[in-house]
Chains A and B, each alone.
Chain A
């Protein structure tokens, strides 16, 4: 099977520039510098490269949103915040193939006429930030970053910037505020970052994996990349499978690989020979699936058709015997903790969800609590500055729609049938 990113990840030395170049690394940058910026953007459009950060926006289209006027400098910000529970793929790229990312950044920057770029990496990833910083230093040394890159006249400065513990900073406008040294409060849109972003300058924010795909696209062509995936979702995806499976880990598979096959063939099936109870398919915010729903192609459109999302590629496998109320309670505690508090529906709503789900799990649920949860969700969705409120409401709704009997039983029996534990 063709791989775009992980081909040499088993090789520990690949994180160093010499080994990376030994496998043809930075040849794509050389090639890109001989192309026109528009030509590069065209290839990325042809590749059907969809953003890997969660929303799946077409990268080439986003790149086209920068103003044509070049009088103001622009900024490329790399989203390495990786905070969505169940997601752990960008960490692998940064630890095992940091130069793939740096080369992708350099190519994108050239295409976008950007001379200033930052990798915003979550603060907890101390080791990965160090590996990246070393790789950035190597790339400067070798002339792939800095002034007059490879004699092309193109300049690019790249800096690794560490966050400090806040899920919300993965949201692009929050990330921009955080990069500017502020609290990570999301901004009201418009203006969109492409018009007014970091330091008041036009800004593109892309996920780590999105940019790491770019060198391969330049080397092999957009059409080849597109052909690896499905119609509107080109290439491969790094899919992180976690929870109760025999072989948890990150698997690079063509977009559109069957979800059941991902869980059973690649990740080795459910741990301890148990039956499957549920799957959260694309990070904690994405609507949960029942076992009878997982025979589906794992790509953006196919997942949307069944009412969920491939999101950030984090597949969370929940085995039989798990209390779904307790599982939801863990998620609701998380969102209540991470709401930045700017919008009333989100601040209050996440607090309510935490409280109501918590009391149901504690055996103190009241008649009408399930309807109350759904009501709170309705009042949260689509009414806030950023999508965190929706991200909290979607799991709550879907857990109830699909596992309603467990909630009713907790309330009816006034206790957790699973003994308040996982």
Chain B
């Protein structure tokens, strides 16, 4: 099944092209756009982006797979990404990851059967002063406790 950008994404793509001296520099921003448009960076999305830029799908795939934020597989509606690095760990991140895994009934990397939540452990989110921290889709949630995570996830559920 082939995919295509909406008119707004198409316009954004055209605008991006004007910002760089080299066409290929838009690969990262366009992959972000593709992920927003299609939910994840599917094989079809790779082929589509390659077509837009006139480069090989292998090249786009090579870039996409280098970066952790591009999901080459579908993720849940809410991607719950809990920081496991040092400052968060010192303030109980491991425990929180266990708590969320138990609550959602999935292991890190897993998605709930209803497709609502994917749980991931991630590296430092650059918000160590308000540890423990998680990112759900675009948003940061800071100074987490078991109770505050429960409230956040219950609201999204």
Chain A positions near chain B (C-beta within 8 angstroms) = 82-88, 90-91, 116, 122-127, 157, 159, 161-167, 178-184, 199, 240-244, 248-250, 280, 284, 314, 316-319, 322, 327, 330-331, 334, 337-338, 421-422
Q: Does the CB pair A181–B85 fall under 8 Å?
A: no
Contact among A123, A181, A199, A240 with B129 in the assembled complex (CB-CB below 8 Å): A240
Known: A86-B86, A88-B126, A181-B26. A123 touches B67 (CB 8 A): yes
Chain B residue numbers with a CB within 8 Å of A116 are 21
* Total A-B Cβ pairs within 8 A: 145
The answer for the CA separation of A181 and B139 in the assembled complex, in Å, is 25
Q: Does the CB pair B129–A178 fall under 8 Å?
A: no
B24 within 8 A of A: yes
B91 within 8 A of A: yes
The answer for the CA separation of A91 and B125 in the assembled complex, in Å, is 10
Contact among A88, A167, A319 with B128 in the assembled complex (CB-CB below 8 Å): A88
Instruction: Looking at the assembled complex, report how far the CB atom of B93 sits from the nearest CB atom of chain A, in whole angstroms.
Output: 8
Chain B residue numbers with a CB within 8 Å of A249 are 129
Contact among B19, B69, B89 with A164 in the assembled complex (CB-CB below 8 Å): B69
The answer for the CA separation of A140 and B135 in the assembled complex, in Å, is 31
Instruction: Looking at the assembled complex, report how far the CB atom of A77 sits from the nearest CB atom of chain B, in whole angstroms.
Output: 12
Q: Does the CB pair B90–A164 fall under 8 Å?
A: no
Chain A residue numbers with a CB within 8 Å of B90 are 243-244, 316-319, 322, 327, 422
9 inter-chain pairs at a CB distance below 8 angstroms, sorted by A residue, are A86-B124, A87-B126, A123-B69, A127-B139, A159-B19, A165-B68, A183-B63, A280-B86, A337-B123
Instruction: Looking at the assembled complex, report how far the CB atom of B141 sits from the nearest CB atom of chain A, in whole angstroms.
Output: 12
Interfacial residues of chain B within 59-91, with CB under 8 A of chain A in the complex = 62-63, 66-70, 84-87, 89-91
Q: Does the CB pair A164–B130 fall under 8 Å?
A: no
A-binding segment of B4-12, B27-35, B146-154: B27-35
Q: Does the CB pair B62–A178 fall under 8 Å?
A: no
Q: A123-B69, A126-B138, A164-B67 are in contact. List 14 more A-B contacts (CB 8 A).
A: A88-B126, A125-B126, A164-B70, A179-B25, A181-B26, A182-B63, A183-B62, A244-B91, A316-B128, A327-B90, A337-B123, A421-B95, A422-B94, A422-B95
Instruction: Looking at the assembled complex, report how far the CB atom of B63 sits from the nearest CB atom of chain A, in whole angstroms.
Output: 6
Q: Does the CB pair A83–B126 fall under 8 Å?
A: yes
Chain B residue numbers with a CB within 8 Å of A179 are 25
B38 within 8 A of A: no
Instruction: Looking at the assembled complex, report how far the CB atom of A133 sits from the nearest CB atom of chain B, in whole angstroms.
Output: 11
Chain B residue numbers with a CB within 8 Å of A83 are 123-124, 126
Q: Does the CB pair B66–A166 fall under 8 Å?
A: yes
The answer for the CA separation of A199 and B140 in the assembled complex, in Å, is 33
Chain A residue nearest in CB terms to B93: A422
Chain A residue numbers with a CB within 8 Å of B138 are 126-127
Known: A181-B27, A244-B91, A422-B92. A334 touches B128 (CB 8 A): no
Chain B positions near chain A (C-beta within 8 angstroms) = 19-22, 24-29, 31-32, 62-63, 66-70, 84-87, 89-92, 94-95, 123-131, 135, 138-140
Instruction: Looking at the assembled complex, report how far the CB atom of B47 sits from the nearest CB atom of chain A, in whole angstroms.
Output: 17
Contact among B21, B31, B67, B85 with A334 in the assembled complex (CB-CB below 8 Å): B85
Of B27, B67, B138, B140, the most chain A CB neighbours within 10 A belong to B67
The answer for the CA separation of A227 and B62 in the assembled complex, in Å, is 49
Sorted nearest first, the 5 A-B pairs with minimum C-beta distance are A181-B27, A164-B67, A165-B68, A165-B69, A242-B128
Q: Does the CB pair B66–A124 fall under 8 Å?
A: no
Instruction: Looking at the assembled complex, report how far the CB atom of A317 sits from the nearest CB atom of chain B, in whole angstroms.
Output: 8
Chain A residue numbers with a CB within 8 Å of B125 are 124
Q: Does the CB pair A91–B127 fall under 8 Å?
A: yes
Instruction: Looking at the assembled complex, report how far the CB atom of B44 sits from the nearest CB atom of chain A, in whole angstroms.
Output: 19
The answer for the CA separation of A124 and B87 in the assembled complex, in Å, is 17
The answer for the CA separation of A239 and B2 in the assembled complex, in Å, is 49
The answer for the CA separation of A385 and B13 in the assembled complex, in Å, is 34
Q: Does the CB pair B25–A180 fall under 8 Å?
A: yes
Chain B residue numbers with a CB within 8 Å of A327 are 86, 89-90
Contact among B24, B85, B139 with A180 in the assembled complex (CB-CB below 8 Å): B24
Chain B residue numbers with a CB within 8 Å of A124 are 69, 125-126, 135
Q: Does the CB pair B67–A314 fall under 8 Å?
A: no
Known: A122-B126, A164-B69, A166-B66. A85 touches B28 (CB 8 A): no
Chain A residue nearest in CB terms to B65: A183
The answer for the CA separation of A313 and B4 in the assembled complex, in Å, is 45
Contact among A164, A240, A319 with B68 in the assembled complex (CB-CB below 8 Å): A164
Instruction: Looking at the assembled complex, report how far the CB atom of B56 sits from the nearest CB atom of chain A, in whole angstroms.
Output: 13
Instruction: Looking at the assembled complex, report how far the CB atom of B11 sits from the nearest CB atom of chain A, in whole angstroms.
Output: 16
Q: Does the CB pair A166–B87 fall under 8 Å?
A: no
The answer for the CA separation of A179 and B138 in the assembled complex, in Å, is 21
Chain A residue numbers with a CB within 8 Å of B21 are 116, 199
The answer for the CA separation of A167 and B83 in the assembled complex, in Å, is 14
